A and B are shown apart, each in its own frame.
Chain A
Amino acid sequence: MTRIITFAEAIREALYQVMEADENVIVFGLGVDDPKAIFGTTAGLQQRYGLERVFDMPTSENAMTGVGIGAALNGIRPIMVHQRLDFFLLAMDQLVNGAAKWHFMFGGQGKVPITIRLIMGRGWGQGPTHSQNLQAWFAHIPGLKVVMPATAEDAKGLLLESIYDNNPVIFLEHRWLHNTTGEVSEKAERIPLGKARKVREGADVTLIAMSFMVVEAIHAAEFLAINGISCEIIDLRTLAPLDWPMVFESVAKTGRVLALDTGMTTGSFAGEIITRIANECWGALLYAPQRLAMPDYPEGTSVSLTADYHVRAEHIAGKIGQMFGRTLDTTSLVANRRYPHDVPGDWFSGPF
């Protein structure tokens, strides 16, 4: 049975189901038991599963990551959550030198089944240090798995799989997705890591997206369809491992590719996508592979400074038009947006 719930509710449901099924699962992070409950995703967990298994923590991102690693080495399955990815940067030693290396570095003695939920976003003045999308950093580190769901169904299924994975998983939640809705199974159905999802079949161009970029890609594809360009959209779901066969097969079919990224342009994961496609699909390409990512500047706070900053559907449509030698009038795409550019929808009124 499925029913329509939000992305945030899907995460909460996954946490309930996994904590019910396995007493080794624990959840901790700043604010998991506060009234806001990590945008509702941890609401009620502590009441049901107790202070030992669900707990708030000292403001000690680095040590608490190590605590999760240590517990994981002895059979616990910790789920750690940070309301902003940017704070987790304090924990890079434990993540990169510890969690990511442990299993390999000790010749297979020991494993670190920890899931680290990092929430990231854009807009509403999140500014330079509350908005960063650093998936490329994590995907660069061997030994980490990197998950970026775009739908409620994937949020639940991929989170369940991440928790049961015997390796460290970085689970990246885009704040603009928490209130989106979708059909989600009531059961604890896991979705394997490393299997991308074809969001839309198309013939002319492949759009490769992750997380919130999938939403922008869908808007752009609908507009482009009206304008006679058929887009295929691939939602990567996970960056590590990555479903390269689906990517290559699609590009071989369409001959054109635009890789989208919620991170900065230089060193972006989209750059890796383009590189691999150039290596593997050269003969099939009809146009130089393109990417759209964020500018190589920190995100400014003022609503005015983000007016032309983020990649939105009109930019995607414009870029694809360019790939076909066409100049498309995208004013309708902009006009159809019923809310300001710095919020995901009417439901969002801050503060974060």
Chain B
Amino acid sequence: MTTTDDLSVQLLYGMKRIRLVEEYIAARYSEGKMRCPTHLSIGQEAAAIGVGLALNHSDLAVSTHRAHAHYLAKGGDLQAMIAEIYGKAAGCSRGRGGSMHLIDTKVGFMGSTAIVGNSIPVGVGLALSLQLRKSSAVSVIFCGDGSIEEGVFYESANFAAVRKLPVLFVCENNLYSVYSHLRVRQPEGRKIYKMVEALGVPSTLVDGNNPQAVHQAAETAITRIRKGSGPLFLELSTYRWREHCGPNYDNDIGYRTEEEFQVWKNKDPILRFEQNLLAEGVLTISTLKRMEYELKDEIQAAFNFAENAPYPGPQEAFQGIFAEMALTQ
């Protein structure tokens, strides 16, 4: 797609791009060429893109093991991501990180890490650096409902509140930590955003499957943070369509029901939104088709690039453990 000023079309485009990329991954995962644990965000696209479109490249972001959507929404290079999942030297982490360790510092995507909660304090530290530099940029921390159970979340939110750091916590609550439902992990009746509010971080609950609602909440929050509000927290309700790790649907293995899945599938962030835009005349069928063709071309090209790109040589396993010394010091 060429550029458009229309925010709703940008939101749709961004969501469809993430969805299609991940459906490609799912369709080809069984070929055995993407040889790393891979966590898909299908069903959760609105959360990523709604926040991503509220950010500038100078804003910084960190994410989790389920990072494809955040990386792409922040402007990360698609070819470098697919090449990374394929373990190629052209991958964003030169094949050392795989799907869970994505980075594109050129657009402020500062890294996704694989241990639950691990990147949360890193995002707070990035915010500290912005405050020390008197920058107007914001640090965004993508995290999930599971990470709220990690001690490091409290420690991080507490410090961000103490120092009034320019940080936005974006918690996608998809109800599951691997196969463990929220009800066995957090007490009945708990509202995550209310609890976080009690830590001194003003919080908002948003329908995470509504891209416009997410975007509006994110933009409002980021504007406040740029004006010095200190940290803010968004809880985005959403749902993971596929298995925790891997390409398949898993409603049959016994930890959740097909009925529950269908309820959430009916709240598909893309389909609903797309139909609304068509009904409102913001989008025509032909524009939509062109968008889809363009996306397929782009994604096919990224996969071709990744498949044909060379692997890092085996000797690279023994290189680059330390950063060089600063030349200026």
Contacts and interface: CB of A to CB of B under 8 A. Distances in A.
A109 B323 contact: no
Contacts of A26: 132
Contact of B326 (A52, A143, A166): A166
| Most A Cβ at <10 Å: residue of B60, B92, B105, B129 | B129
Contacts of A65: 121
> Which among B92, B113, B133 has the greatest number of chain A C-beta atoms within 10 A?
B113
A52 B152 CA distance: 23
B325 to A, nearest CB: 6
Interface of B is mostly: mixed
A106 B130 contact: no
B76 to A, nearest CB: 11
Given A57-B159, A103-B323, A110-B103, A63 B111 contact: no
B102 to A, nearest CB: 9
A60 interface: yes
Contacts of A67: 121-122, 124-125, 128, 156, 159
- Could you say which interface size class chain B belongs to? 35 or more
Interface string A50-88: 001100011010111111111111111000000000000
A93 interface: yes
Contacts of A68: 125
B97 interface: yes
Contacts of B123: 70
Give the size category of A's interface with B: 35 or more
A105 interface: yes
B325 A109 contact: no
A104 interface: yes
Given A104-B321, A165-B325, A109 B125 contact: no
Nearest to A55: B163
B89 to A, nearest CB: 9
Q: Which of A75, A103, A106, A165 has the most CB of B within 10 A?
A: A106
A250 interface: no
Contacts of B115: 93, 97
A223 interface: no
Nearest to B121: A66
A207 B132 CA distance: 47
A106 B96 contact: yes
B118 A105 contact: no
B324 interface: yes
Contacts of A142: 321
A107 B97 contact: yes
Contacts of B234: none
B113 A104 contact: no
Contacts of B159: 57-58, 60, 63-64, 67
12 contacts: A58-B155, A58-B162, A70-B122, A71-B125, A71-B128, A93-B118, A98-B118, A105-B101, A142-B321, A166-B322, A166-B324, A167-B323
Interface of A: 22, 26, 52-53, 57-58, 60, 62-76, 93-94, 97-98, 102-113, 142-143, 145, 164-167
Closest 4 CB pairs of A and B: A70-B125, A66-B121, A107-B94, A63-B155
